[in-house]
A and B are shown apart, each in its own frame.
Chain A
Amino acid sequence: MTTRDTQLAEQLSATTLLRFATAGSVDDGKSTLVGRLLHDSKSVLTDQLEAVEAASLSRGQDTPDLALLTDGLRAEREQGITIDVAYRYFATARRRFILADTPGHVQYTRNMVTGASTAELAVVLVDARNGVVEQTRRHAAVAALLRVPHVVLAVNKMDLVDYAEPVFAAIAEEFTAYAASLGVPEITAIPISALAGDNVVEPSANMDWYGGPTVLEHLETVPVSHDLTGCHARLPVQYVIRPQTAEYPDYRGYAGQIAAGTFRVGEQVTVLPSGRTSKIAGIDLLGQAVDIAWTPQSVTLLLEDDIDVSRGDLIVPSGDAPATTQDIDATVCHVADRPLTVGQRVLLKHTTRTVKAIVKEIPSRLTLDDLSQHPDPGQLVANDIGRVKVRTAEPLALDSYADSRRTGSFLLIDPADGTTLAAGMAGESFATAEAVRPADDEEGWDF
């Protein structure tokens, strides 16, 4: 077998999936890093590379521009910029990867929020010559807001600072202190040169002072499954399965993807918002009966009692039910081009439930650069992040986003045409808000 055959045989045995997102401004070399990851992990196939080479040539470039691998749209290639989030797929012997490749251009916030919402890890790129800049703080703040479990700081262009350890150490220390103060649970800093290939896939011979993993090694080994025993179990009901056939005349199953925690047969459960209780009589895991199921499995729950349950309800353990409320305090990222204003009537989609709602207050708008707040902005425009108070027409069983990314998140939707207006996260914004209050901010901020 050739090396490649061996490598590919190994890829077939890779069993887990890591979703991660990249963040970096236009000149930090993000496209080069992504191109390097794909290229050096042998995930770019001959015809794709040939297409890139041909396109690069026709643009008068003499070396293949790896950024063309990721710029999929006509307008992106014409303007040489990335407009929208794209998803990339690659695999190594250890793991499969889904990369949300988020553009660092003007619309950075909503794009990064989009990419980070499903990511278990975010790579924040910094140019070693510039160090931690406003943009870096924005990326760290978005990762913290979205509660991405792992953050990697990739200090890029180390080749342009003579691979000097003190340069890296200073940037890593500043970033780590900042991100940790925002409550980012795990931060790993890696000195790299995406252009030269140092510490991206292969360890660098130019930085023997660095003893940590390469970017790819870290992606391969970071834990993706967490201990679920302490999580609040949640099943949003998506669909009621009632065959009403001769074979299954009485089957009534509540289908959904477990949003958090674990469910067991025999467990006492409560259905929200009605508050009715029953016991789990059986769990079907896509046609197979099981005793226990956990997030993110798609399952069907069968209950002992024939109680009223429909799409939009939430099934929870009876001893661990969230409070239901019609008044939601949340942080939102505004993702639409039209503004969000106080008094606006919207739809709120939370798990499988969509209800009417009204924006009662916008107490503050956050400036990501320095985390300062602007009180009563009146409205939020595209890419703004702010606190909102929303009143819903019906009670919702909402968790804090800090407890569950899945049952603490929601969308605000324009009822007129269905436009997604804002991405919402219920409860506190940052894990340790008081620690990041700027010294000159006399009021502090009540996030």
Chain B
Amino acid sequence: MTTAATVHEAADNSEGSSPYALSHLDALESEAVHIFREVAGEFERPVILFSGGKDSIVMLHLALKAFAPAPVPFTLLHVDTGHNFPEVIEYRDRTVAEHGLRLHVASVQEYIDAGKLRERPDGTRNPLQTVPLTEAIQQHRFDAVFGGGRRDEEKARAKERVFSLRDEFSQWDPRRQRPELWQLYNGRHAPGEHVRVFPLSNWTELDVWQYIDREKIELPDIYFAHEREVFKRSGMWLTAGEWGGPKDSESVETRLIRYRTVGDMSCTGAVDSDATTLDAVIAEIAASRLTERGATRADDKMSEAAMEDRKREGYF
């Protein structure tokens, strides 16, 4: 350099020369395990939100590692929209049984049947999950609720803390968040309040997939390319089903597709893909010019602040 700007040249700039370097996946894993153990140490009734989607599957895997060889000291909760992919529900139930876990299910369908929620004209049930989720948290008096949300998913999520305090209505107030300093998570809350906890906050979609690959974690088949009857709505391939698609104007065709996310069938789009292996999926995601949610989520496109608004109401 031409100026005296560098005070000390680093002794050694080459990576990997230190025997103590952690890979990025090891660093993320260690951080997530630390978060799980903090919650186990500080809360009375934690629960893991488990949908059978890849993020919640990775969460469960991390929790299993965090407490091994003891069992996971948490129960699971699934907010069931009633419009699930059968493969995912099958995976969910098999996983719960395999690890001897306890699963609570909050059912959107039951709320609709009881007249407590009304079906939306567009058939999308994702926004309807908030009430059953909130009521399940109150009913079971859960004080910490793990979610698989990642900050890379969406710009409102980029603003959320690892420990996110929610009031008795589960509401998120982005202007009243506690600063989060060092690795000192403050989980104190008043009775009725709870904390949403996001152990995968610092993971990206690619990190999740590389971790799944490294740990050889099994996933529901719909994450890999398969032939399926789909139809196009708002630029996305949706699976035909009893939830209300296709309409008369929409035509069904068989395509080779896979899912990047799983969620409510009415708003979770498939992507054209021939990726049948983890390696192929990882290569495909690395080359994609679309974010995970941009490619597959109809509900995020409702408005510029759709996610923020739903989070304020109590959504994840």
Contacts and interface: CB of A to CB of B under 8 A. Distances in A.
Contact of B66 (A172, A190, A286, A351): A286
Contacts of A224: 21
A98 interface: yes
A335 B290 CA distance: 37
Contacts of A180: 7
Most buried by A among B11, B40, B151, B181: B181
Contacts of B101: none
A89 B28 CA distance: 13
A72 B189 contact: no
A48 interface: yes
B253 to A, nearest CB: 24
A418 B190 CA distance: 8
Interface stretch (A129-137, A237-245, A434-442): A237-245
B110 to A, nearest CB: 33
A118 B188 contact: no
B37 A298 contact: yes
Interface stretch (B131-139, B172-180, B264-272): B172-180
B34 interface: yes
Given A243-B70, A286-B68, A417-B190, A4 B287 contact: yes
A418 B189 contact: yes
A131 to B, nearest CB: 14
Interface stretch (A13-21, A198-206, A366-374): A13-21
A72 B295 contact: no
A341 B175 CA distance: 24
A209 B41 CA distance: 56
Contacts of B1: 210-212
Given A16-B15, A84-B159, A55 B304 contact: yes
Contacts, number: 263
Given A16-B24, A45-B294, A418-B190, A411 B2 contact: no
Contacts of B18: 223, 225-227
A296 B10 contact: no
Nearest to B174: A73
Q: Tell me whether chain A's interface is mostly helix, strand or loop, or mixed.
A: mixed
Contact of B202 (A55, A89, A189): A89
A81 interface: no
A63 to B, nearest CB: 18
Interface in B1-58: 1-8, 10-13, 15-16, 18, 20-24, 26-31, 33-34, 37-38, 40-41
A419 interface: yes
A417 B192 CA distance: 12
Interface string A402-442: 00011001110100011110010000000000000000000
B291 A8 contact: no
A255 B33 CA distance: 10
B6 A47 contact: no
A172 B3 CA distance: 8
Nearest to A416: B190
A243 B188 CA distance: 27
Given A87-B158, A168-B3, A223 B13 contact: yes
A257 B28 CA distance: 12
Interface stretch (A109-117, A267-275, A320-328): A109-117
B210 interface: yes
A409 B13 contact: no
Contacts of A173: 3-5
B183 interface: yes
Contacts of B8: 185-186
Nearest to A69: B155
Given A210-B1, A225-B22, A405-B182, A239 B65 contact: no
Given A15-B24, A87-B158, A110 B3 contact: no
B3 A298 contact: no
A91 B203 CA distance: 12
Nearest to A352: B41
B280 interface: no
Interface string B131-156: 00000000000000000000110111
A298 B294 contact: no
Given A83-B175, A91-B206, A247-B69, A211 B2 contact: yes
Contacts of A5: 287
A298 B159 contact: no
A89 B2 contact: no
Contact of B186 (A245, A286, A409, A411): A411
B155 A72 contact: yes
A184 B10 CA distance: 13
B134 to A, nearest CB: 20
A225 B21 contact: yes
A281 B36 CA distance: 25
Interface string B49-82: 0000000000000000111111100000000000
A225 B12 CA distance: 11
Contacts of B114: none
A411 B181 CA distance: 8
B31 A296 contact: yes
B202 A117 contact: no
A176 B33 CA distance: 39
Nearest to B165: A418
Interface string A267-300: 0000000000000000010110000001111100
B2 A209 contact: yes
Interface string A146-182: 0000000100000000000100110011001000100
Interface of B: 1-8, 10-13, 15-16, 18, 20-24, 26-31, 33-34, 37-38, 40-41, 65-71, 151-152, 154-159, 165, 174-175, 177-184, 186, 188-190, 201-202, 204, 206-207, 210, 282-283, 286-291, 294-295, 304-305, 308-309
8 contacts: A17-B27, A73-B174, A87-B202, A114-B180, A212-B5, A225-B20, A238-B37, A251-B70
Given A114-B180, A180-B7, A189-B3, 15 more contacts: A16-B15, A17-B22, A46-B289, A70-B158, A91-B206, A117-B181, A118-B182, A173-B3, A238-B40, A239-B37, A239-B67, A251-B70, A257-B37, A286-B66, A406-B183
Interface of A: 4-5, 8-9, 11-12, 14-17, 45-48, 51, 55, 69-75, 77, 83-89, 91, 94-96, 98, 110-111, 113-114, 117-118, 153, 165, 168-169, 172-173, 176, 180, 184-190, 209-212, 221-228, 238-239, 241-245, 247-248, 251, 255-257, 262, 284, 286-287, 294-298, 311, 335, 347, 349, 351-352, 405-406, 409-411, 413, 417-420, 423
Report the 7 A-B pairs with minimum CB-CB distance, sorted nearest first.
A418-B188, A47-B294, A189-B5, A72-B155, A243-B70, A298-B33, A17-B24
